Amino acid sequence: MIKHETINIRTPDGQCATHVFAPEGAGPWPAVIVYMDAFGIRPGLMEVGEHIAAGGYVVLVPDLFYRYGAYGPLDPKEVFASGGFRAVVGPLMASTDNVKAAQDTEALLAYLDTRKDVAGDAIGTVGFCMGGGMAIAAAGTYPDRVAAAASFHGGRLATDAPASPHLLAPKIRAELYVAVADNDGSCPPDMVERFEQALDDAGVRYRCELYRGASHGWMKPDFPVYDEAAAKRGWSEMFALFDRVLKQERPDAA
């Protein structure tokens, strides 16, 4: 049984509605922050939070589109079928970015520090699509807090933009797991190579894996390109990383 509550966390830009998932009992458990994809808060994303919590974690799923205002919930399959992806999600995506998400993370970390059921200071971050870069940016912005980060079909991981995640590589102390599709225009092979080179140059511990046959969004059951076998592999890799780094390696771990 997983506990679920919705709270408002104050940030410099307003109130960020955040879904909190936790196992039954007193804990404590390590914490994980989920950085959403472009379709925002919806039942499919709640399933992600619940799934990670079932693995023994306190999970935050913040609505990073809070600056935009009310929206949705959106059904990815319906939006893709309509051909109106950019018209629907473009304005939402424009309300946040890697820098803003990193700023929001400071407030999320402060909230986690108030919970008695959270074990230690080290946390994990995981992001999907646009959230993949945000999870990595959080690791580079809060190296003393983020010990493990995972990105699934994250886009624009290494670009010429000043907020490109790869530029934070020298600051990252977390161990990373980066899963990319071989059918993803937002993260082509040359970008993956550039991203990996930045991590190598900075001495970051990471694994970057290509999911052959998978498309951008393969981890999400409510996406038309959902790949059950590839998703199962992805969850297994994420839990292996988080369990080892956040549970087994903690000095106070049981």
Mean pLDDT of the chain: 96
By the 10 Å C-beta count (0-12 exposed, 13-18 middle, 19+ buried), 252 is classed as exposed
pLDDT tens-digit profile of 238-249? 999 999 999 975
CB–CB of 7/62 below 8 Å?
A: no
pLDDT tens-digit profile of 117-133? 999 999 999 999 999 99
pLDDT of residue 183: 85
Contacts of 61 (CB under 8 A, 6+ apart): 18, 19, 20, 21, 34, 36, 41, 45, 46, 48, 49
Q: Decide if pLDDT at 115 tops 80.
A: yes
pLDDT of residue 170: 98
Q: Decide if pLDDT at 251 tops 50.
A: no
pLDDT tens-digit profile of 168-213? 999 999 999 999 998 899 999 999 999 999 999 999 999 999 999 9
pLDDT tens-digit profile of 209-234? 999 999 999 999 999 999 999 999 99
Residue 119's SS3 state is strand
- Other beta carbons within 10 angstroms of residue 60's beta carbon come to 27
By the 10 Å C-beta count (0-12 exposed, 13-18 middle, 19+ buried), 160 is classed as exposed
pLDDT of residue 249: 59
Structure tokens at 160: 């010429």
